[in-house]
Structure 1
Amino acid sequence: MGQMLKCVSPIDGSVFAEREVLSRDAALEAAARSRAAQAEWAARPLQERIDLVMAGVAVVGAMNDEIVPELAHMMGRPVRYGGEFGGFNERASHMAQIAEASLADIAVGEDETFKRYIKRIPHGVVFVVAPWNYPYMTAINTVAPALIAGNTVILKHATQTLLVGERMAQAFHSVGIPEDVFQNVFLSHDVTNDLISGNAFDFVNFTGSVGGGQAMERAAAGTFTGVGTELGGKDPGYVMDDADLDAAVETLIDGAMFNSGQCCCGIERIYVHESLYDDFVAKAVDVVKGYKLGNPLDSDTTIGPMANVRFAKEVRAQIAEAVAAGAVAHIDTFPEDDGGAYLTPQILTNVTHDMRVMQDESFGPVVGIMKVSSDDEAIALMNDSEFGLTASLWTRDVDRAERVGDAIETGTVFMNRADYLDPGLCWTGCKNTGRGGGLSVIGYHNLTRPKSYHLKKVTG
């Protein structure tokens, strides 16, 4: 038996699932089958590809009663939140609806002498490396439009959510998507590297850590394979002096703590105008004190364990370092905090940007709150980060939000909301968040290549 991937459940530390990785030869064979199947898949009518993908999405929805507790076992999200099918379906549906317009030929001009236009051509084989924190929604961001555009897809899912790719493959194959057109694979890091460096794929989409993204780019170096990276975040919220305070507290704290803070676009630092600062902190503390930490299979649980003990260890270290440097922790340790994966959600004040908790990605249920006196001060602090995914601005003035948003180094600007992925907008980032570009019409452009036609007519 070869190398085994093991999903260790954060509920109790038991092995919930394990799968054997493919050998290098078997992985190469899978990639070859995918390439051989691509032309026939792309030759099918666009509407047929759309209908098959959406039928597969519906089958995933029919599995939801099984998927929800499975996710709780694998990565700790409480069952009370009902899984991810709402967002999964919304994203796939939007990409299906805009496919014809997004993939249509671009007419440049035609007269008696010339016909000129640009086609959108599928890359070929698209390799999707998906993360565990929102395992269905992050995967479908690329899988659905890639298949619709005429690519074949090979999905490698995170070990922490080992069964998600199998679920998707089962659903898609059951409605008639050929097995070689959509494949779920289990791969070691070494074999993954060999496949990418060996030109097995025509486009790679990776969602995960900065280190993982760097490894993908190194593997692809010199191959001219396109690599889309959607990496870490340290997303800020800024509460201006005219904000709806209660709405800001409710949304930003939920954005910081939901899914045990394990959201790439979760709120990890908050800047509040000095006129609202004390009230914001008091209300935020009250919200977090009301959380119920516990077993995610319990319907009363509002915040579950972190997905892995090592993730919780990093958050605890950031909190301890900040407190040692003068930060104030406002939440007493919950009785259910076991020192392992079950971690007390925390609000910190008296924090500075010299602390890791305000610079490094925490990816856990902790948020630092700082007082600011002006937009300029808030902008400088928001931009003082190696990441740039989203920023959440709270004000009643749209023009002000647009001015501040223009000055922030980020991929998405929210006003009076946070932590939401609108499939009509491009999901993208800057700086160490990477150079991804998923969903929207731009998502289709990134999953295809332009091909120009310059046709001279014979007129005599």
Structure 2
Amino acid sequence: MSIESTNPATGDVIETYDETNASERSERLERAQTAFEEWRDVPIETRQRLLVNAGDVLRENTEEYAELMTREMGKPIEQARAEVEKCAWVCDYYGEHAAEFLQDEVVASDPNARTVVAHQPLGPILAIMPWNFPFWQVFRFAAPNLAAGNVGLLKHASNVPGCARAIADIFHEAGFPEDVFTTLLIDSSEIEAVIEDDRIQGVTLTGSDGAGRAVAETAGSELKKTVLELGGSDPFVVLEDAPMEETVETAVQARLLNSGQSCIAAKRFIVVEDVYDEFVDRFTEEMDAQVVGDPLDEETDIGPQARPDLLDQLHEQVQETVEQGGEIRLGGEPVDREGAFYPPTVVTDVPEDAPADQEELFGPVATVFRVPDEAAAIEKANDTRFGLGASVWTDDLERGERVAREFESGLAFVNELVKSDPRLPFGGVKDSGYGRELARDGIREFVNTKTIWVQQDAGEETDLVE
């Protein structure tokens, strides 16, 4: 069997890759387990140094990796370069801080005992990663976990096999031992068998909530730890005192980054009555000014959707919303050109329970809701099964922080678009998943937090209550 890598801007086949067959899959799992037995004992300073090397490899080959991402999934080239740099940043970050985050913690306990909390690696961790940020999603998993002493096995999205191979090569070139990071080019139907394999000790997934439920069910039956970063329908709340020029400028960026294909993109724009008309007019004008075109062209703002079927699904959601009473202010029809292009689209007057109200729209489509006041804005922001990110826009920063605390989300930003940062925990609540990536929290997700009790006076009485 083979996997084709296809350029969504042209429909051309870039390259064909052989799938990992069942025998090869088992062999790679065995090699990963063997590699872990040695890797876990490698001094963390060495692991950190190798991560820094990986960051250097990324920066030295930025153009090559950026063009690979752009050709495989359509990301505008400037954004692809920024993604490579962000991957290097996360390598640098854990290259500097991993030892600090994982050092033993001496905890005051019984006066006649020394009690320590240690953080020890678990073993081979399976990472099931999406196509929309084909390098970043992988590196934000790999950097902390390889630093912690785990080994990684990557099941990447089927439309970015070239990115999957390139990432494995990066770690090899950086000096990581063979099989500490392995790519499995397998079909999604094989994931369950991999999770059930005794050699896999944990699973992390970034993807849809449907995929998350399936992975969690299988991993739960095997009593294996999971981290799930799932979909989002992030609210972008505009209050009456919002700095309008900055708000509109950032709103466009927050909706259209990665051609609108981001879990943490602003998708529902919730605007109070007093500034609703002004916001809609200015926002629609700025959305219309964005350039749709060849993602390899430096002037392009929006490239193609990553696959034709994803464009079809997005358009169906828009059409159904309009049929139920929504109004198209801009866009709303696929671009009449070769490739899977969808234009910047603005939908208002969205009825309750329409797809644009209840579902995640994974593309350059913004829905705008009119609300009477701040309280109604918060209520609408939380009226979703998702809970990944949210932002609020206001001139009053104290008010902004108060509103941010009211959001039912894992991330809340005031006067800034929602984004990930290696220094801060990243993840969601509700149907957006659980667990955290990045920062200290992320490196401690797949470790054994072990209590070690050293009794220093054996003659003392012991408390036998559990």
TM-score bin (small chain): over 0.9
Instruction: Map residues 47-62 of structure 1 onto 2, 5 A cutoff.
Output: 47-62=45-60
The corresponding residue for 2:273 is 274
Q: How many residues align?
A: 458
* Structure 1 residues 354 and 335: CA distance shift in structure 2, 3 A: closer
Asked if the contact 2:315–2:333 (Cα under 8 Å) also holds between the matched residues in 1, the reply is: no
Mean Cα deviation higher: 50-59 or 189-198: 189-198
Asked if the contact 1:330–1:348 (Cα under 8 Å) also holds between the matched residues in 2, the reply is: yes
In 1, Cα distance between the equivalents of 2:309 and 2:339?
8
Mean Cα deviation higher: 29-38 or 74-83: 74-83
The corresponding residue for 1:204 is 203
**2:68 aligned partner, one-letter code:** E
In 2, Cα distance between the equivalents of 1:265 and 1:458?
54
- Post-superposition offset of 1:198: 2.5
The corresponding residue for 2:321 is 322
1:383 equivalent in alignment to 2:393: no
Asked if the contact 1:38–1:150 (Cα under 8 Å) also holds between the matched residues in 2, the reply is: yes
Asked if the contact 1:17–1:162 (Cα under 8 Å) also holds between the matched residues in 2, the reply is: no
Match of 1:9 among 3, 7, 13: 7
Asked if the contact 1:4–1:19 (Cα under 8 Å) also holds between the matched residues in 2, the reply is: yes
Q: SS of the counterpart of 2:135?
A: helix
- Post-superposition offset of 1:4: 1.8
In 2, Cα distance between the equivalents of 1:332 and 1:41?
53
Q: SS of the counterpart of 2:139?
A: helix
The corresponding residue for 1:23 is 21
Q: SS of the counterpart of 2:231?
A: coil
The corresponding residue for 2:354 is 355
In 2, Cα distance between the equivalents of 1:36 and 1:291?
51
Q: SS of the counterpart of 1:43?
A: coil
- Post-superposition offset of 1:17: 2.6
Asked if the contact 1:28–1:200 (Cα under 8 Å) also holds between the matched residues in 2, the reply is: no
* Structure 1 residues 442 and 214: CA distance shift in structure 2, 3 A: same
TM-score by length of 2: 0.94
In 1, Cα distance between the equivalents of 2:162 and 2:445?
27
Asked if the contact 2:134–2:160 (Cα under 8 Å) also holds between the matched residues in 1, the reply is: yes
Mean Cα deviation higher: 22-31 or 271-280: 22-31
In 1, Cα distance between the equivalents of 2:221 and 2:314?
37
Mean Cα deviation higher: 141-150 or 218-227: 218-227
The corresponding residue for 2:464 is none
Describe the superposition over 1:164-203 as per-residue Cα deviations: whole angstroms up to 9, x where unpaired. 1211211211232111111122112233211212233111
Q: SS of the counterpart of 1:134?
A: coil
In 1, Cα distance between the equivalents of 2:420 and 2:29?
31
Give the superposed CA RMSD.
1.8
The corresponding residue for 1:150 is 149
Asked if the contact 1:352–1:358 (Cα under 8 Å) also holds between the matched residues in 2, the reply is: yes
Instruction: Map residues 294-333 of structure 1 onto 2, 5 A cutoff.
Output: 294-332=293-331
The corresponding residue for 1:69 is 67
Asked if the contact 2:324–2:351 (Cα under 8 Å) also holds between the matched residues in 1, the reply is: no
Instruction: Map residues 71-90 of structure 1 onto 2, 5 A cutoff.
Output: 71-83=69-81, 84-90=83-89
Mean Cα deviation higher: 357-366 or 416-425: 416-425
Describe the superposition over 1:394-421 as per-residue Cα deviations: whole angstroms up to 9, x where unpaired. 1122322222222221110011111311
**Matched residues, percent identical?**
30
1:403 equivalent in alignment to 2:379: no
* Structure 1 residues 218 and 19: CA distance shift in structure 2, 3 A: farther
Q: SS of the counterpart of 1:260?
A: helix
The corresponding residue for 2:213 is 214
The corresponding residue for 1:98 is 97
The corresponding residue for 1:246 is 245
In 1, Cα distance between the equivalents of 2:458 and 2:10?
77
Describe the superposition over 1:130-187 as per-residue Cα deviations: whole angstroms up to 9, x where unpaired. 1110111111111000000011111121112111121121121123211111112211
In 2, Cα distance between the equivalents of 1:191 and 1:200?
15
**1:325 aligned partner, one-letter code:** Q
The corresponding residue for 2:42 is 44
Gaps of 5+ in 1: none
The corresponding residue for 1:225 is 224
- Post-superposition offset of 1:235: 0.6
Describe the superposition over 1:291-313 as per-residue Cα deviations: whole angstroms up to 9, x where unpaired. 11112122222211100111111
- Post-superposition offset of 1:339: 8.5
